[in-house]
Amino acid sequence: MKAIICGAGQVGSNIAKELASEKVDVTVIDQSEDLIARIRDTLDVRAMVGHAPLPDILESAGAADADMIIAVTYADEVNMIACQVAHSLFNIPTKIARIRDQSYRKQIWSDLFSHDNMPIDVIISPEIEVARAISRRFTVPGSFEIIPLADNKLRLIGVRCEDECPILSTPLRQLTSLFPDLHISIVGVIRENKSIVPHADDHLEVGDEVYFVVDATHVPRAMSAFGHDEPEARRVVIIGGGNIGKNLAVDIEEEFAGVSAYIIEIDKEVATTAAKILSKTTVINGDALDPEILIEANIANSATVVAVSNDDEVNILSSLLAKRYGAERAVTLVNSTTYSPLLASLGIDVVVSPRAITASTILQYVRRGRIRSVHSIGENFGEVIEVEALETSSLIGQSILDAKFPTGVIVAAILRNDEVQRVNKNTIIQAGDRVVLFATKEAIRKVEKMFAVRLEFF
């Protein structure tokens, strides 16, 4: 597969890194010589300086035989024109564009991106995706990750094991007997920054970050099993009133009637814009690192502080300061991986990575087979993949045991005829099954081949 990525910023470079690890032939285009130099120094991809929408530049990047173009520059219009040129002149099959301004996406203009007008196959908005990822966490207090799977009938949940976790030091094989009616499968554990694919004889320890797949109707019981019975947040303070902060506040206003929200934004113009858009959220123009501003936002009575400014350091420091002044929980957006080993020990409860969220959105379009969704967990640990078992797959009619999945793969659940199936080694895979599994980075391509018969895009 051959892909052209327009834009070498944080989003573009991370997508390039992910695709390169998938053995995709990647070319990155950007007007910034510094960003292109960084790409060349750090990634095994082709990188070139140029203005992405120009036909000559796209031709030099190999558009004539490219399978996909991913336009993720900071300018919506550049991304849209790049996709249009890619379609009109080079007939690139799959076109993905980052579009931040929601004016383009209003329902009244829904025909704009139709095949006859501007044929963009996939529109991504990292700011909206991140806001939604954060708001989902409000539905399951105590989780640091929650992702719906299989038409919302399953959940991928991440929790941290604290001292009060009742299943500490219990071999995982005993969980079935302890909770016979609980449909749960632990798929990954991160312990002291080391990734672990759990086995039946393993046990959990204090500080472990645990990822599990569970029947959506069993989520409260599953959280209780891990010692998490926190009440839902009723007051939220959002630090940063930019696109992510505004979208998160809109989600809270529309989806969480019992939650009151405050936004703290240091830029007066940005704060004014947010205040005009939001009807129920209190917007404060001030510095989140100023204790008086935190007191004004009544941080001491807030269940959660969500730091989503454009500055990692501000997010981290303001989160820690807010907790010192009484906030119960800190959800912190961090782009750089440099701080990852420190954050949990500092007291950050939930770390949100825009890079991982955006990459998950893109990756499902480069997989083989009927991939419904892909979700990265941990830093280069692996992915939870939801895939449809095609009739032509060699897996049909085989049990989980006989299928001989590669090392590093855990089949967590199967959705069959809209019903969640609890799996064991004797479960037979049937045509049409939607299989939810975890695969380490090393095992992903092998799993892909097991489910696939040909390259498909959606």
Mind listing the pLDDT tens digit for each residue in 247-286? Answer: 999 999 998 888 899 999 999 999 999 999 999 999 999 9
How do beta strands 370-377 and 409-416 pair?
unpaired
pLDDT for the residue 141 = 83
- Every domain of the chain with CATH number 3.30.70.1450 lies at 156-225, 357-451
As beta bridge partners, residue 150 has: none
Residues 6+ apart with CB under 8 A from 447: 385, 405, 406, 409, 437, 439
pLDDT for the residue 412 = 93
Whole-angstrom Cα Rg for the chain: 23
Q: At what angle do helices 126-139 and 354-363 cross, to 10 degrees?
A: 100
CA atoms of 13 and 355, how far apart (whole Å):
9
State the alpha helices, DSSP H only, in 55-174: 55-60, 76-90, 126-139
- Every domain of the chain with CATH number 3.40.50.720 lies at 2-124, 235-355
Q: With 0-12 CB in 10 A as exposed, 13-18 as middle and 19+ as buried, what is 428?
A: middle
How much is the average pLDDT of 289-312? 91
- Count CB atoms within 10 A of the CB of residue 418: 9
CA angle 211–451–172, rounded 5-degree value: 30
How much is the average pLDDT of 179-204? 90
Which fold, 357-451? Alpha-Beta Plaits (3.30.70)
CA atoms of 344 and 83, how far apart (whole Å):
41
Residue 264: name the closest of 244, 291, 238 by CA.
Answer: 238
Residues 6+ apart with CB under 8 A from 37: none
Q: What is the pLDDT of residues 123-171, one digit of tens each?
A: 888 888 889 889 888 888 888 889 899 888 999 999 999 888 999 989 9
In degrees and rounded to multiples of 5, residue 334 shows phi and psi of -135, 120
CA atoms of 32 and 137, how far apart (whole Å):
36
Answer for the pair 55, 31: CB distance below 8 angstroms, yes or no: no
CA atoms of 399 and 195, how far apart (whole Å):
27
Answer for the pair 308, 239: CB distance below 8 angstroms, yes or no: yes
Residue 340 has pLDDT above 80, yes or no: no
Residue 22 has pLDDT above 80, yes or no: no
Task: Calculate the average pLDDT of the chain.
Answer: 88
Q: What is the pLDDT of residues 385-433, one digit of tens each?
A: 898 888 877 888 989 999 888 999 999 999 998 888 888 889 999 988 9
How much is the average pLDDT of 307-333? 93
How much is the average pLDDT of 13-32? 89
pLDDT for the residue 332 = 94
Which single residue is written with the structure tokens 């609980």? 182
Residue 119: name the closest of 75, 74, 69, 62 by CA.
Answer: 69
- Count CB atoms within 10 A of the CB of residue 123: 18
Q: With 0-12 CB in 10 A as exposed, 13-18 as middle and 19+ as buried, what is 317?
A: middle
CA angle 25–84–133, rounded 5-degree value: 70
Q: Which CATH architecture has domain 235-355?
A: 3-Layer(aba) Sandwich (3.40)
CA atoms of 360 and 15, how far apart (whole Å):
9
pLDDT for the residue 452 = 66
Q: What is the pLDDT of residues 86-126, one digit of tens each?
A: 999 999 999 999 988 877 877 777 778 777 788 888 888 88
Answer for the pair 337, 356: CB distance below 8 angstroms, yes or no: no
Question: How much helix, strand and coil, in percent to the nearest 5, is found in the chain?
Answer: 35, 25, 35
Answer for the pair 352, 375: CB distance below 8 angstroms, yes or no: no
Residues 6+ apart with CB under 8 A from 302: 235, 236, 237, 262, 322, 326, 327, 328
CA atoms of 195 and 232, how far apart (whole Å):
30
Q: For residue 454, what pLDDT band results from cuts at 50, 70 and 90?
A: very low
Amino acid at 336: S
Superfamily of domain 2-124: NAD(P)-binding Rossmann-like Domain (3.40.50.720)
DSSP 8-state symbol, 180: T
Q: What is the pLDDT of residues 233-251, one digit of tens each?
A: 788 999 999 989 999 999 9
Residue 364 has pLDDT above 80, yes or no: no
How much is the average pLDDT of 360-374? 70
pLDDT for the residue 258 = 82
Q: What is the CATH number of domain 156-225?
A: 3.30.70.1450
